[in-house]
Amino acid sequence: MPMTNKRRLSVLAAAAVAVLALSACTGQDGSSGGGDDQGPRTLKLGVSSELLSYDPVDLNGGGEGNLLWMPVYDRLLTITPDNGLEPGLATEWAFDDSFSVLTLELRDGVTFSDGAPFTAETVKANIENLKASSSTEAGIVAPIEEVVPVDENTVEFHLASYDPTLLYQLGLAAGVMASPEALGTEEIKLNPVGSGPYTLDDQGSVRGSELIYVKNDEHWNSDAYPYETLVFKTYQDITARLNAAKSGEVDGAPITSAAAAEAEAAGLTITNTPAGWLGLGLFDRAGQIAPELADVRVRQAINYAFDKQAILENVEQGYGYATSQTFAEGQPGYDPELDNRYEYDPEKARELLAEAGYPDGFDLTIPDLPHMAAYTPIIADQLKDVGINVTIKPVAPTDTLAEMFGGQNAAFAMEFGGTSIGQITALSTQSVWNIFKSTDEELSQLVSVAYKATEEDEQDKTYREVNRWVVDNAWFAPWYMKDSIFVTSSEVTVEPWVTNVTPLISSFAPAK
């Protein structure tokens, strides 16, 4: 019997009803902002990249990674959203007068997820493990010559040289403490063995897609973490991430400025904070491969050539503020006067170039770094306007790092986050960011004074001196301080972490 049209229609209708019924019975749990079977106190966050390894030597301080590993690992010190320091696994810390010994008093009664106790010996094992590794962070603990356990709860770091960023770094990946038993094993890459406020739910998690953390009620600071469960979902694509936030599948996610208007229209809350400066790095200050850059007037001319406000408005939708300095507002060393030091003035740029002996401009090659591809044409366009003829050199994604740090390029577009002291240490000849190992006696003098500043007033004053020198000598051509943007649903409140891409996990709380 052939099926009649009527019957066919009714079958189709039945199928449609079935699908709708299914969608009703599974429910749209996301819109509740909490969760279904995971209890009301679940925080679901979207992130753009996965965490590849939980091995402490593979962790690093930048980007979103913090959000993913900080729940499972305690650090020696705890960083606050305004980049201050609070007790972590160390309850007290102090340098001796000569800054050659750092003494840490350790928290008593802390145990790792494998049951091992946290002691002075644990600190020694972790620091030595990190030092011996080929990790990025090994350089940070390199000045620690020796770790000396004084007693169970006291440890001394004997320093070969004083590094002013050390304390801050002990609040990040370099200060991560894992169970000594697990250090150096393959297993710790997949399963963290820390003492953090949460533990990884290995069974429930799907690596590279969804990580689930459950609260560790034994944690010494358990009260600071209001959520019973944390769920991190990876959305590499910004559209997918935004859709997940809009549909309530996640309670919060980092987004781009281009997506901000859409997020706002969808009723999401936007939290933004200066994450880092963006502009053109002028690295060949001695003119090794681009002789013109050796003249400070040329570097200043380049600074004058960029219409910073216009770039900010057009590329970042105004999320940020135009500036000529690398220090972020509100951070030590920030000088409001320096924001306008090189206000857009192409005429002045041409004058300076003429003074420097380049009335007809000169040729400059800029690599088209894939992650900065949006900015390269802007550089070429704006510099051409003042007479500098830019050749854009194509760069394969896999060659990015070699092109940046291999010393083949006199200047390139860059984005640089971090604290004020991070801006200062990047000037050192030891830093990878000082690509041509530029030095200056006056600057070294100012930096060495700034390094020794421990009090806030003193830091602000000495950092400001360094800042002013760097801006006057145009070591960089910053355009603006770019905001990081994090969206949250109405169910969640969050405080931003200044100079960082994502907030700290302890900064999230259920909305009242």
Q: Which positions touch other proteins (CB under 8 A)?
A: 2, 19-20, 22-23, 25-26, 28, 30-31, 50, 52-53, 55, 60, 134-136, 138-139, 186, 189-190, 206-210, 233-237, 239-241, 243-244, 246-247, 249, 396-399, 401-402, 404-405, 432
CB nearer to other proteins: pick between 60 and 507: 60
CB nearer to other proteins: pick between 71 and 387: 71
CB nearer to other proteins: pick between 174 and 477: 174
Token pair for residue 369? 């770094």
Residues 142, 119: Cα–Cα separation, whole Å:
21
Residues 33, 468: Cα–Cα separation, whole Å:
47
CB nearer to other proteins: pick between 21 and 150: 21
What is the enclosing helix (H) or strand (E) of 368?
A: strand 363-368
What is the enclosing helix (H) or strand (E) of 124?
A: helix 120-132
Residues 242, 384: Cα–Cα separation, whole Å:
37
CB nearer to other proteins: pick between 2 and 394: 2
Count of CA atoms in the C-beta half-sphere (13 A) of 163: 23
Shortest Cβ 268–other proteins spacing (Å): 12
CB nearer to other proteins: pick between 51 and 364: 51
Shortest Cβ 386–other proteins spacing (Å): 31
Estimate the crossing angle of helix 257-265 against helix 238-246, to 10 degrees: 20
Shortest Cβ 37–other proteins spacing (Å): 11
Token pair for residue 397? 């994604």
Shortest Cβ 500–other proteins spacing (Å): 17
CB nearer to other proteins: pick between 20 and 392: 20
Residues 171, 186: Cα–Cα separation, whole Å:
25
Shortest Cβ 469–other proteins spacing (Å): 24
Shortest Cβ 246–other proteins spacing (Å): 6
Q: Note whether 144 and 159 are within 8 A (CB).
A: yes
Cite the DSSP H helix spans in 316-368: 346-355
Shortest Cβ 250–other proteins spacing (Å): 9
143 class by beta-carbon count within 10 Å (0-12 exposed, 13-18 middle, 19+ buried): middle
CB nearer to other proteins: pick between 150 and 373: 373
Shortest Cβ 375–other proteins spacing (Å): 18
Shortest Cβ 296–other proteins spacing (Å): 27
CB nearer to other proteins: pick between 149 and 370: 370
- Residue of 304, 290, 317, 298 whose CA lies nearest to 485: 317
Shortest Cβ 451–other proteins spacing (Å): 19
- Residue of 184, 196, 171 whose CA lies nearest to 53: 184
142 contacts: CB under 8 Å, gap ≥ 6: 131
190-227 burial by CB neighbour count: b if 16+ within 10 A, else e? ebbbbbbbbbbeeeebeeeeebbbbbbeebbeeeebeb
CB nearer to other proteins: pick between 158 and 189: 189
CB nearer to other proteins: pick between 353 and 424: 424
3-state secondary structure 202-238: CCCCECCCEEEEEECCCCCCHHHCCCCEEEEEECCCH
CB nearer to other proteins: pick between 25 and 94: 25
309 class by beta-carbon count within 10 Å (0-12 exposed, 13-18 middle, 19+ buried): middle
Shortest Cβ 352–other proteins spacing (Å): 32
Q: Cβ of 183: how many Cβ atoms within 10 Å?
A: 19
Shortest Cβ 247–other proteins spacing (Å): 4
Read off the DSSP letter of residue 117. Answer: B
What's the distance, Cα to Cα, between the start and end of the chain in Å?
64
